[in-house]
Structure 1
Amino acid sequence: MRPLRDTHLFRAARLLLATLLVAGCVTRGPVVPTTVGPERIARMLQIAEAEWQRWGSPRVGTTADGAQCALLASGECAEVDDGCGREMTAALCPVVNGYWASLGPGGAGGIERHTCPLTDQCEARWPPEWGPPHWTPAWSAAFISAVLRRAGFGESEFRFGKSHADYIVAARDHLTSAHDVVPTPAVALPGDLVCALREGARIAPAEIDRITAGETPTPMHCDLVVRVDFAAHRLEAIGGNVQQAVSRSTVELDEQGRVAALPGSGRAWNLVMRLHTEPLD
C-alpha cells in the first residue's frame, strides 16, 4: 500500500487547502484566551462615559408595551424616527464617521458612512408631509468597536466590525481572545457586553450556536455594561445608535442578579460577552 502522503486524494486535499488559503477562505484556528486587566476595563468605561456625555447624556426609557423610547427634553418618552434625533445634528452626525473609521481600512467606506446631508430637522418625529425620511445605516457595532479599539484592544482580541454578529461569532468560536460568549440568564459585570436580538430574529438564548456572521449576519444589538447594582437588581449600559444617539439604558436583572430576556425589558437579551479578567487576590 502506498503511504497516504503519496495518494492522489492527499495531494488533491493539499491543493484545495492551499487554494482556500490563498483565497482567504480559511479562518485561523482557536486562539489562546487573554486576560483584560482592571486598568483597561477602567479605560473602556471612561471612554464610553465620555462619549455618552458628548452626546448630551441621553437616557432611554420603556413604553407601556415594552418598547424602548428616548426621554426627550419635554419629558415625553418617544421612539425616535429615522431622519431625526441627535445623530442627525450638525454637531454629532460627523462624530458617527469617527466610529466607522475605527473598523479599519475598508470598514468605513461606501454605504457605511454618514453623509449628513440633512441636519437638525426634528427631535423625534418625522412629519409625513416631508416625504421619506433620510435613512442612515445602523452604527451600534461601529460604536462598540470604536470604544474597544480606543481602550487598546487588538485585532486578535476583538473582531472590529459593522455587525454585532461578526464579533460575537468570532468570540464564540474562539477566533478572538478577550471574551467568552455566555447565553442568558447570566451575570454581567462592568466592561462586559450585553447583547440582544433585533426584531425579526428568532433564536433562543441556548441556541447561540445559530448566530451567523458574514454576508447575512443575525440582526443583533450590544451595549457596554458600565455599572451594576446587584442590590437593586439592575445594571446600566451605554450603546450607540440607541434611539439615534449614544444612550444610557437601564437593564432589569432577575432575582439572581442575572441578565435575562425578561418581559417588558425593552430588549430580548440573549447573551453576555464576558471579559476574561485577571483573577481576584
Structure 2
Amino acid sequence: MRPAALAVAALLALAGCAAPMRPAAPPSQPLVYPPAAAERVVRLALGEWRDWGGVVRDAWPETPDDAAGLAPAESDPANFPRVLAYWRAVENDEGAIRANRPIYAAALSGMTSTALWSEPAWSAAFISWVFRSAGVDAREFPPNATHSLYLDALIADADAFPATAPFRPHAPDGYAPRAGDLVCFDRSRARLAHWSERRAEAGIPRPMHCDIVTGVAPGVVEVVGGNVGDTVMLTRYPADAAGLLAQAPPGRAPILLVMESRLGRLPPFAP
C-alpha cells in the first residue's frame, strides 16, 4: 500500500474510533434576582433619561420625532461617550464604534457633516446596557444589538423554566405592565399578529423596539427608551382602569407584547 493510502487508512481508523458527539447540554437553571436588581433597572433608565434632557412625549405622536430637537441629540459630541457605553454592553456592535470614532474626531474639528451615531440604531444596545449595568447577568438577559434576538432568548427561557425564568411574555390585552417590564413593538412591514408567532422564526432578526416601564399611574404607563427621536425619551401610554395598555390608533404600530420582568418577584424574595 502506498504511503498516501496508508495515511488515509489511518485517518479513517481514527475517525471510526472517535467517541460519538454528545448532544448539546441543556441551558443552566436561571438565577433568581433580589428586588434591588429591579430597582436598579428603573433607576438607571430614569437616570439616563434625565441626563439626556428629560423630554416627555405622548404615545403615538403625529410624527415619530415630535419631541425631537427638545433634548440633546445623539449627534451632539457631548453625547458620544453615552452612546459608546451602550454599544460596549453588547458583544457585536455591528461596526458602530469603528464607524463613529472617526466621525466624532472629525466633529471635534468641525470637519464633518456626517451625524454621530445615526447608524446603526442603538435602542437595543441601550436596553442591554441598562440590564447589564443593573447587575443582571448575560445568562438571564443576553445583551444584543437587536431587540428581537434578546427577546428570543427571554421567550425560550420562559418556555424552558416557567417557574423560575426571570422574564415572561404576555399579550398586551391580558397583562397590566409594572415598573421594570418591557413594552415591545413589531416595526416590520409584515407584523406578527401575536407575540407567540415569534417562536417559529426565533433567531431571525425582525425590526422591533422595546422600552422599559419606569412608572405606572391611573390611566397611564410611562416607559423610557433609547434612540427615540435620536435621544433617550420618556413616553406616556394611555391605560384603562385595569392598567391594561390602550390599543394603538388606526394605522399605527400596535404593541406586540409586554415582557414581564420577574426580577425581585420570585421566591425567596417574593411569594
User: TM-score interval w.r.t. the shorter chain?
Assistant: 0.7 to 0.9
Task: Find the counterpart in structure 2 of residue 8 from structure 1.
Answer: none
Amino acid at match of 1:108: D
Using a 3 Å threshold, how does the CA distance of structure 1 residues 139 and 201 change in structure 2: closer, same or farther?
Answer: farther
| 3-state SS of 1:223 partner | strand
Match of 1:139 among 101, 122, 125: 122
Q: Deviations over 1:200-220 (max 9, x none)?
A: 141012544447453x41211
Q: Conserved in 1, the CA contact under 8 Å of 2:80 and 2:116?
A: no
1:169 pairs, out of 152, 163, 167, with: 152
2:245 maps to 1:259 = yes
What one-letter code is carried by the residue in structure 1 that aligns with 2:79? L
Residues in 2 aligned to 1:37 and 1:187: alpha-carbon distance in whole angstroms: 22
- The answer to whether 1:108 aligns with 2:93 is yes
- Between Structure 1 and Structure 2, how many residues are aligned? 237
- Cα deviation for residue 222 of structure 1 reads 0.4
Q: 2:171 aligns with which of 165, 183, 195?
A: 183
Instruction: State the secondary structure of the residue aligned to 2:228.
Output: coil
Give the Cα separation in 1 of the matches to 2:138 and 2:60.
39
Task: Pick one of 207, 215, 220 that aligns with 2:208.
Answer: 220
C-alpha distance after superposition, 1:69-121 (max 9, x if no partner): 332567xxxxx9xxxx70111111332111010114xx23624656062759x
Structure 2 counterpart of 1:197: 186
Letter in 1 for 2:38: I
- Contact kept? 1:169, 1:212, Cα under 8 Å: no
Change over 3 Å in CA distance of 1:256–1:30 after alignment to 2: farther
Assess if the C-alpha contact under 8 Å between 1:261 and 1:270 holds in 2. Answer: no
Matching residue within 43, 65, 71 for 2:67: 71
What pairs with 1:26-65 in structure 2 (closer than 5 Å)? 29=26, 31-61=28-58, 65=62
Secondary structure of 1:228's match?
Answer: strand
Q: TM-score, normalised by structure 2?
A: 0.74
Q: Which runs of 5+ in 2 are unaligned?
A: 1-15
Does residue 87 in structure 1 map to residue 61 in structure 2? no
Unaligned 5+ segments in structure 1 are 1-10, 75-79, 121-129
For the structure 1 residues 91 and 169, does the alpha-carbon distance in structure 2 shift closer, same or farther, using more than 3 Å as the test? same
**Structure in which a larger fraction of residues adopt helix:** 2
Corresponding residue to 1:149 among 132, 147, 171:
132
